[in-house]
């Protein structure tokens, strides 16, 4: 069963985020607190949304998908960015990942989103194989750019002060 996450799911989502980070060999980078997740998912202005996959027999949580809207200047339309898709190892191969992706694709269609995009680690061959079996297009010509930590602070310090743009997102 796939359902929308509720406030009660936050502790389990946080646990699965850490499980995903461990699988991706980056557990130390998963620092989100339960309070941050509550605010991001259920605050006055949610930054993201989540779906929960439950085992049909036990009702236990076996996975989640966390996504947020994005915008394309090329199409002039919104799209969806999938931040996390995770199915616990014992539940893999049972259709939960595909069901989560199908539910997200249906959300895209209902919402008029033209694009549904996410990243996958280059070394994660089983996941890449799963995605390509669904018809996913891998965009090899694009590189992900990230600015964080001290380089982010250094660049921000160079910003002009007068006429700073307002941003509430």
Geometric angle at alpha carbon 135, from 76 and 141, rounded to 5° = 60
CB neighbours (10 Å) of residue 42? Answer: 15
**Mind telling me the catalytic residues?**
131
Instruction: Measure Cα distances from 59 to 16, 52, 55 in Å.
Output: 16, 11, 5
Tell me how far apart the alpha carbons of residues 82 and 19 are, in angstroms, rounded to a whole number. Answer: 17
């Amino acid at each position: 069963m796939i359902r929308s996450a509720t406030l009660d799911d936050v502790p389990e989502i946080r646990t699965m985020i850490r499980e995903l980070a461990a699988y991706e060999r980056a557990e130390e980078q998963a620092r989100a607190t339960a309070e941050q997740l509550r605010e991001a998912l259920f605050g006055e202005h949610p930054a993201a949304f989540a779906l929960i996959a439950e085992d049909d027999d036990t009702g236990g949580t076996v996975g989640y998908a966390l996504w947020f809207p994005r915008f394309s200047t090329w199409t002039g339309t919104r799209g969806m960015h999938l931040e996390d898709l995770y199915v616990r190892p014992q539940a893999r191969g049972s259709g939960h990942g595909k069901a989560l992706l199908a539910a997200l694709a249906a959300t895209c269609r209902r919402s008029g989103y033209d694009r549904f995009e996410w990243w996958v680690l280059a070394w994660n061959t089983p996941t890449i194989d799963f995605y390509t079996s669904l018809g996913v297009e891998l965009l090899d010509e694009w590189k992900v750019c990230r600015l964080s930590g001290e380089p982010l602070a250094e660049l921000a310090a160079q910003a002009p002060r007068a006429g700073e743009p307002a941003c509430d997102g």
